[in-house]
Amino acid sequence: MTDGKHLFFTFAVALSSFIIYYFGLVPQYNRYLVACSVAFYLLFFVQIVISVFYWTVNIILKHRSVENLVNDSYCLKVLYDLYKNNGNALDLDNLNGKVISLLNAGLIHKVREIPLQFHSGFDEVDHQYSPYIITSLGKKYLIRKLESK
C-alpha cells in the first residue's frame, strides 16, 4: 500500500461506485454500493496518508545520506575538483565506491556512458574512467559545506 501503485485503482473504484449510487443505475444494490464507496474512500485516504508519510521519510533519509557524503573528505574533494573545473568534465574511476555513491545521490553526472580505459601503471589495470560533471545539487551542497567552514 505504501508504493502508491494501487492509489489510482482505489480512487477509480470508489468514484465509479459513488457515481453508480448517485445516479441510481443499479437501484437494488444501493446499500452495497454505499458500503463499497465508503470502504474504498477510506482505503484511498489511508493510502494517501501512508504515501505522504513514506515520501517524507524518504526525503529526510536522502538528505541525511547526502549530508554524510558531503562530510566525507574524499567526496568533498571530488566535488570541489569538479566545481573548480568550471563545468568541464573530469575523468573519474567508475569502480570507486565514493564516485558511485555521489552518482547515485545525484551530486555528479556521467557525461558519457562509454568508459575510457587508461592504464598508467600495474595498479590501474581494469579501472574504467568516465567523464563526470557536477550537478546543480552538488554545487548547492558544496557551497553550503564550504560556507560553513
The pLDDT score that the predictor gives to residue 43 is 80
Angle at 38 between CA 32 and CA 44, to 5 degrees: 130
Please give the Cα distance from 58 to 86 (Å, whole number): 32
pTM higher than 0.75, yes or no? no
| Distance set, CA 1 to CA 5, 14, 39, 82 (Å) | 8, 16, 15, 41
**Chain centre distance of CA 136:** 15
* Number of CB atoms found within 10 A of residue 28's CB: 6
Q: Are the C-beta atoms of 31 and 17 separated by less than 8 Å?
A: no
The pLDDT profile of the chain, 149 residues, written as one tens digit per residue, is: 555 677 777 777 777 877 777 777 777 766 777 777 778 778 878 888 888 888 899 889 888 888 888 888 898 899 999 999 888 888 888 888 888 899 988 889 888 766 555 555 555 556 678 889 999 888 998 888 888 87
The pLDDT score that the predictor gives to residue 146 is 85
